[in-house]
Amino acid sequence: MGALISILIVTFMGSVYSLTSRISASGLPTIHFADKPAHLRVRRAKGSDEVDEISIKALLETKCPSLFSEFKPLWWLPNGHFQTLYCVLGDFTKNDLMWYTRTYLKLADDGTIGLDFAPPDHAEKLKDDTPIVVVQHGLTGGSYEAYIRAILSRACASVDEGGLGYRAVVINFRGCAGVPVTSPLLYSAAHTNDTRRALMYIAKLYPNAPLLGLGFSLGSNVITRYLGEEGNASRLHAACVLACPWDLKANNDGLLSSFTGRHIYSRGMGGNLMRLLKRHLHVISQDPDHYVAQAAENALKLKNPTLEDFDQAFTRVGGGPPPNFPFPDSEAYYIWGSSHKIVSKITVPFLAINAADDPVVRHVPMDGEGNGLVVMELTTGGGHLGWFQQGPGYVDRWTTKPVLEWLKLVGDDVAYDPKPKGLPTYTDKDGFLREEGRPEIGVKVVEEGVIDANGGEGGVLQGL
């Protein structure tokens, strides 16, 4: 009932806002390259050993022309509010259908994450060096999200069918998309160890495949932080992030500065997190004296919380492990967990796309901190994870084509060092795959099975 009420409120407020907004969010994007764009080693032909060194700017201009194209929103979704509303309210169950093979990984701290591989027969047919798109979803989403399926349905389709012929794997956070919570911790925009664990396992499974990161909203922040923290040790070969929240404090302040931001978007996200917490409370509160269980108890006292309310009560405590967590307050968590200050440390080709009318992410850094490998794009419209435009007989997303062009460039054309990325791994006596020097980075497969990811998850607002 809470989710339905939130939808009705959002619909009403969006309608009111549309009456006061007469400017369509169409137009050409703003794209920032560093003063000295990095040069990438590019194959002269697919599979060729001959390479040329070409600037990332020239490559995008020739290989990714859609990045420079005009965004033209549907006439009935003219601004960022309507674009974002449609992410929540739209029916996407009949388009971009996806099925996955799910692998549950038990983690070294007794937690569990779910990796959804596509195509479902991922162990067969495709070559072992086929590029793999590694996805991190939004706040409370999962592999079922329409914004993920829009890209993966095409990326994983065969070349004969007009696709890229790639593999993909969605890293579902603890407690999301049917993944059980098996320890007194959830996840957050700042906690990157679960990403490290998943990438270690994927790289071990496919040591010859380039791993191409693809992040959405909260998942974008996680990928960006992971890349900056790992530097040259990153297991990702390239990455693209959409609707990254960047400066968590500035964007939280931006949300709370307007009526719609505070009472619609922030409370919508806070409500989603509250429902997720309640769903897994029986595990998190098994030991009532545990500090995370006590934080959960405090969170349950909240009535219709904003995102900041929930983060203050729970995320700053249960969103990750010590020594960084718990934080003294949500502001300290936001400042520490932001990704905008770590972009200069990224060492792989990196593309970020945000929308200027995103009502959730209102502060977007566009300088890339001078990093020649980083490209920052700001479209005139699109809302938060929307970018809806007219497709061939259906509602399509503007971002789908440029992201696919980017994935093809960094998957097929860029020539990478064949030397394995990341720290060496080993399997311990208990069957955990671990990284040398990082005993906390350990995983073990506990279950596998095929899932249908086209119906969403009950009780959680989609598209956030």
Question: Using an 8 Å Cβ cutoff, are 103 and 114 in contact?
Answer: yes
Q: Is the pLDDT of residue 1 over 70?
A: no
* Mean pLDDT for the stretch of residues 111-121: 93
Mean pLDDT along residues 369-389? 97
The predicted structure's pLDDT at residue 122 = 57
Q: What are phi and psi of 238, to 5 degrees?
A: -165, 165
Query: What does the pLDDT look like over 449-459, one tens digit per residue?
Result: 777 777 777 77
pLDDT on residue 316: 98
HEC string for 79-119: CHHHHHHHHHHCCCCCCCCCEEEEEEEEECCCCEEEEEEEC
Q: Is the pTM of this model over 0.85?
A: yes
Answer whether residue 117 shows pLDDT above 60.
yes
Domain ranges of the chain: 2-452
The model's confidence at residue 394, banded by pLDDT at 50, 70 and 90, is: confident
Confidence class for position 124, pLDDT limits 50, 70, 90: low
- Looking at domain 2-452, its CATH architecture is 3-Layer(aba) Sandwich (3.40)
Helices (H), 193-265: 193-205, 218-230, 248-256, 259-260
Residue pair 89/7 in contact (Cβ under 8 Å)? The answer is yes
pLDDT of residue 418: 86
Q: Which of 169-173, 266-270, 456-460 has the lowest mean pLDDT?
A: 456-460
Report d(CA 271, CA 375) in Å as an integer.
34
